[in-house]
């Protein structure tokens, strides 16, 4: 897509994450782009564990191959989706990047609802696509009401909160037990990553545009680790 110019004209989308654009290069932000390979590796490793791992707990991941394959596919997809924006700095690349967030948040909400309310798989798809629609509609609302805070980030945060709330309620039912340490590691890793994300922007005291070490690249790697811990939490569930 990059080689054929399918992403459109470069307009600086995502150009405020410190790393200087290498004008004339195929990949405009190399560190911020290639650091997304962490998502791909996390998804592939998770898939390998599901295929060859010896542990098979009594949970929906092992009873239904759909959810296990779906989340592994999403984990891999997060990499090129985020890479699209940093490599091209185009509006379409930015759309791919934001949807990488909505994809994983939509899974969290849909999967938690299915388990908590004991819903059929078709409701997962309905909830999942509703989350994608809300996520993609929020930036348009942002253009209308003209506020400083980006509503796309708020939509992502609310979806994650709803998903985590239902995870908490589900485990309070006493139906299953899970390795809570993975949930803690998932949340802690993401909080650290978010703090680093704020320092990996233009005008930050820790921003060095031409450095091979970019804090936004660290954000990508830590987020990949956080998603992997979320996967491990899901697979650790076992019926009591």
What percentage of the chain carries pLDDT values higher than 70? 96
Strands 238-239 and 176-177: antiparallel
pLDDT value of residue 17 = 95
Q: Give the DSSP H or E segment for 224.
A: helix 215-235
pLDDT digits 0-9 by tens, 36-45 = 999 999 999 9
Residue 46 contacts residue 228 (beta carbons within 8 Å): yes
pLDDT digits 0-9 by tens, 52-84 = 887 778 888 778 789 999 999 999 999 999 999
Evaluate if residue 149 carries a pLDDT over 70: no
pLDDT digits 0-9 by tens, 189-217 = 999 999 999 999 998 999 999 999 999 99
Burial class (CB in 10 A: 0-12, 13-18, 19+), 30: middle
pTM of the model: 0.92
Distance of CA 173 to the CA centre of its chain: 28
pLDDT digits 0-9 by tens, 94-121 = 999 999 999 999 999 999 999 999 999 9
């Amino acid at each position: 897509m990059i080689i054929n110019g399918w992403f459109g004209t470069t307009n600086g989308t995502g150009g405020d994450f410190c790393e200087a654009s290498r004008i004339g290069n195929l990949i405009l932000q190399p560190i911020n782009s290639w650091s997304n390979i962490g998502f791909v590796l996390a998804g592939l490793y998770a898939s390998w564990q599901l295929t060859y791992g010896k542990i098979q707990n009594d949970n929906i991941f092992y009873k239904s191959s759909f959810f296990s394959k779906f989340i592994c596919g999403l984990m891999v997809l997060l990499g090129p989706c985020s890479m699209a924006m940093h490599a091209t700095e185009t509006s379409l690349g930015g759309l791919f990047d934001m949807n990488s967030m909505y994809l994983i948040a939509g899974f969290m909400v849909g999967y938690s609802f299915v388990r908590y309310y004991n819903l059929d798989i078709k409701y997962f798809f309905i909830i999942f696509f509703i989350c994608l629609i809300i996520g993609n509609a929020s930036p348009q609302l942002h253009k209308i009401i003209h506020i400083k805070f980006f509503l796309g980030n708020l939509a992502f945060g609310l979806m994650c909160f709803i998903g985590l709330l239902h995870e908490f309620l589900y485990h309070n039912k006493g139906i299953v037990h899970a390795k809570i340490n993975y949930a803690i590691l998932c949340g802690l890793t993401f909080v650290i990553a978010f703090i680093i994300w704020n320092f990996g922007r233009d005008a930050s005291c820790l921003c060095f545009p031409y450095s091979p070490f970019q804090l936004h690249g660290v954000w990508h790697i830590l987020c990949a680790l956080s998603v992997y811990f979320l996967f491990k939490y899901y697979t650790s569930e076992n019926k009591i």
